[in-house]
C-alpha cells in the first residue's frame, strides 16, 4: 500500500528516456491520466495549472518519441468534442505505472537506509513523495 512522507525525505522519480530528445516522465503520465479522467486536454491541463498549448505540446512530444498517437480527439456534436487516450496511450500509462512500482519496490530497502542515514524517522511522515510500507 502506498503511503506518503515529506518531500525532504528520499523518494524516487522515474524518467524513461526513449529518444535522445524525448522522455516519458511523471508529469507527462499525470497529464495522460488527467486526459483519461476528464475527457479533455484543456481540462487536464487546467488541473495541472498549464495552458492548453503546453498540454498539447507535451502530448505532441509523446506522440513523436513513441512513434504513435497517445490521444485521439473526438468531433464535437450534441455532447461536444473531447480527447481520449488511444489504446497505446492506455498501455503507456499502465506500463509506466508498473515500471514505477517495480522500481519503488526494488529501491525500498535502500531508501529506508538513506532515510535512516539522514536521521529521519516515521514520526516525520506526512503528505508528499511516495513511500511504500511493507
Per-domain residue ranges for the chain?
Answer: 2-132
Residue 123 pLDDT exceeds 80: no
* 7-21, 34-48, 49-63, 102-116: least confidently modelled range: 7-21
Q: Which CATH number fits domain 2-132: 1.10.3720.10, 1.10.10.10, 3.30.420.40, 3.20.20.70?
A: 1.10.10.10
Q: Which CA distances in Å does 19 have to 16, 36, 40, 105?
A: 9, 25, 27, 26
* 77-86, 105-114, 119-128: least confidently modelled range: 119-128
Determine if the pTM surpasses 0.85.
no
Q: Across all residues in the chain, what is the average pLDDT?
A: 84
Q: What's the CA gap between 76 and 48, in Å, rounded?
A: 24
Amino acid at each position: 500500500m502506498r503511503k506518503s512522507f515529506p518531500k525532504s525525505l528520499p523518494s524516487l522519480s522515474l524518467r524513461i528516456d526513449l529518444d535522445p530528445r524525448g522522455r516519458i516522465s511523471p508529469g507527462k503520465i499525470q497529464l495522460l491520466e488527467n486526459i483519461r479522467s476528464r475527457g479533455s486536454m484543456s481540462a487536464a491541463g487546467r488541473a495541472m495549472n498549464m495552458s492548453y498549448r503546453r498540454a498539447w505540446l507535451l502530448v505532441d512530444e509523446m506522440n513523436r518519441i513513441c512513434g504513435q498517437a497517445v490521444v485521439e480527439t473526438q468531433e464535437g456534436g450534441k455532447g461536444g468534442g473531447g480527447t481520449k487516450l488511444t489504446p497505446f496511450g492506455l498501455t503507456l500509462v499502465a506500463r509506466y505505472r508498473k515500471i514505477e512500482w517495480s522500481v519503488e519496490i526494488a529501491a525500498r530497502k535502500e531508501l529506508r537506509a538513506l532515510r535512516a542515514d539522514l536521521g529521519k524517522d516515521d514520526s516525520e511522515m506526512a503528505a508528499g513523495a511516495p513511500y511504500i510500507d511493507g
